[in-house]
C-alpha cells in the first residue's frame, strides 16, 4: 500500500494499533496463521535475509528465543507480519500507532519510517548492546503493583541513597503498575520495601534491566547505529515511549529512540494521549494480549483486540470494520 493511501484511509478512524515488547514471545508463535497466509512466511524470510539467520526457526523451535539479541528481531518481525496480513485483508488503517519498548520499532516500520530489514538489524544490535552493558545475572526487573507512581519513585530514591546499587522506574504501564529495573540487589530491596507498604512485587524473567541508567553505555553506542540508518518521518502518527508525544523531525525521533534505552517507558501517558484524541478501539499487533488487556481497563476504550490467532484476527477485522462504519 502506498504511503499516501495509508495516510488517507487512516485519517477518520478511531482506532489505534499497539505493538508489544519483549516478554510477549512464545514458542510456535503465528504457526497457525502461517498456514493460512503466505505473507507471514514471506515477512520472516525477508527479515531473515536481512539479518543473516533464520528468525522463523528461532520462533518455532524456541532455541535462543529468550536471548535478548534474538528475541527482539523475532518479535518485531512477527508484529510486522501480522500488520501486513491485516492490511492485505482490508483491515482499517489506524489513526495512531504506539509500541511498548521494542514495539516502538515495530510501529515505526508499520508507519514506513524505516524498512523491516534495517529495523531487524537495529534491534538485533540493540539487544546485544543491552546484554553487554549488564552481564546476565547482575541486573533485574520487577513489577510493583498497588502503589502509586510517586510512592514507587520514593522507594527507588531511598534504595539508591542506601548505596545498594542503582534502581529506576522503567515502565509506567498503568495506574498502580510500575516496573522497576537496575542492579539486582537494589531491585530486590525495592521489592521488599513495596511489600512492606502493602504493595505487591513480582520479579520478571528477563536477561537485562531495560530502561534504566545502567543502559546509558549501550545507548551511547546505539546512537551511532541510529545515525547511520535511513529513517524518515512516519506516514502514520507514532507516539514515542519517552515523552508520549509525536516526533516532528527525524533528529528528534532518533534522540527519543536513543533515550528510550535508559529512560522510562511512558505507557500510561501514551494510552491517555490516545484516549484524549478520541481513540475508542485498540488492536494489539503482535504475539500475546498483554497490551490489549491493559487497554480494556481504560475508561474511554470501548474494545481492545489481540491478533495472534486466526479466530482473534477474524474477530478484530470484523468488529473494527463495523465499529468504524466500513460495513453494516
Q: How many other C-beta atoms lie within 10 A of the C-beta of residue 137?
A: 8
- First-last CA distance in the chain: 25
Other C-beta atoms lying within 10 Å of the C-beta of residue 77: 30
Q: List alpha helices for the chain, DSSP H.
A: 3-10, 31-36, 38-51, 55-61, 68-88, 103-110, 116-133, 149-161, 184-196, 216-227, 250-259, 267-276, 290-296, 310-323
Instruction: Calculate the CA 166 to chain-centre distance.
Output: 24
- Calculate ∠ Cα 36-24-93, nearest 5°: 55
Q: How many CA atoms lie within 13 A of 163 on its CB side?
A: 0
Q: Which fold has domain 3-133+214-323?
A: Malonyl-Coenzyme A Acyl Carrier Protein; domain 2 (3.40.366)
What fold does the segment set 139-206 form as a domain? Alpha-Beta Plaits (3.30.70)
> Cell 544490535 identifies what position?
125
Which three-class secondary structure state does DSSP give residue 81? helix
pLDDT tens for each residue of the chain, 328 residues long? 555 545 544 455 799 999 999 888 999 999 999 999 999 999 999 999 999 999 999 999 999 998 889 999 999 999 999 999 999 999 988 999 999 999 999 999 999 999 999 999 999 999 999 999 998 889 999 999 999 999 999 999 999 999 889 999 999 999 999 999 999 999 999 999 999 999 999 999 888 899 999 999 999 999 999 999 999 999 999 999 999 999 889 999 999 999 999 999 999 999 999 999 999 999 999 999 999 999 999 999 999 999 989 999 999 999 998 888 776 5
For the chain, the structural domain boundaries read: 3-133+214-323, 139-206
Catalytic residues, which ones? 101, 211
Amino acid at each position: 500500500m502506498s504511503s499516501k493511501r495509508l495516510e488517507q484511509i487512516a485519517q477518520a478512524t478511531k482506532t489505534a494499533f499497539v505493538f508489544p515488547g519483549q516478554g510477549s514471545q512464545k514458542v510456535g508463535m503465528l504457526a497457525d496463521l502461517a498456514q493460512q497466509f503466505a505473507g507471514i512466511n514471506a515477512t520472516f524470510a525477508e527479515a531473515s535475509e536481512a539479518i543473516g539467520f533464520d528468525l522463523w526457526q528461532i520462533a518455532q523451535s524456541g532455541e535462543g528465543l529468550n536471548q535478548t539479541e534474538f528475541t527482539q528481531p523475532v518479535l518485531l518481525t512477527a508484529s510486522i507480519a501480522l500488520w501486513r496480513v491485516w492490511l492485505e485483508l482490508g483491515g482499517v488503517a489506524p489513526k495512531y500507532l504506539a509500541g511498548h519498548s521494542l514495539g516502538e520499532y515495530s510501529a515505526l516500520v508499520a508507519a514506513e519510517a524505516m524498512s523491516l530489514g534495517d529495523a531487524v538489524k537495529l534491534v538485533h544490535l540493540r539487544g546485544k548492546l543491552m546484554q553487554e552493558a549488564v552481564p546476565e545475572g547482575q541486573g533485574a526487573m520487577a513489577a510493583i503493583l498497588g502503589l502509586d507512581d510517586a510512592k514507587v519513585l520514593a522507594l527507588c530514591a531511598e534504595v539508591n541513597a542506601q548505596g545498594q546499587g542503582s534502581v529506576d522506574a522503567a515502565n509506567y504501564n498503568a495506574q498502580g503498575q510500575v516496573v522497576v529495573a537496575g542492579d539486582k540487589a537494589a531491585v530486590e530491596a525495592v521489592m521488599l520495601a513495596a511489600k512492606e507498604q502493602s504493595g505487591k512485587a513480582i520479579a520478571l524473567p528477563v536477561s537485562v534491566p531495560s530502561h534504566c541508567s545502567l543502559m546509558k553505555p549501550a545507548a551511547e553506542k546505539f546512537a551511532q547505529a541510529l545515525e547511520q540508518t535511513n529513517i524518515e518521518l512516519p506516514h502514520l502518527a507514532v507516539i514515542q515511549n519517552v515523552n508520549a508525544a509525536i516526533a516532528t523531525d527525524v533528529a528528534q525521533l532518533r534522540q527519543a529512540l536513543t533515550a528510550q534505552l535508559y529512560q522510562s517507558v511512558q505507557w500510561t501517558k501514551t494510552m491517555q494521549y490516545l484516549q484524549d484524541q478520541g481513540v475508542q478501539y485498540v488492536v494489539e499487533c503482535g504475539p500475546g494480549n498483554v497490551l490489549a488487556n491493559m487497554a480494556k481497563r481504560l475508561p474511554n476504550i470501548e474494545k481492545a483486540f489481540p491478533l495472534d490467532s486466526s479466530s482473534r484476527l477474524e474477530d478484530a477485522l470484523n468488529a473494527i470494520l463495523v465499529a468504524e462504519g466500513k460495513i453494516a
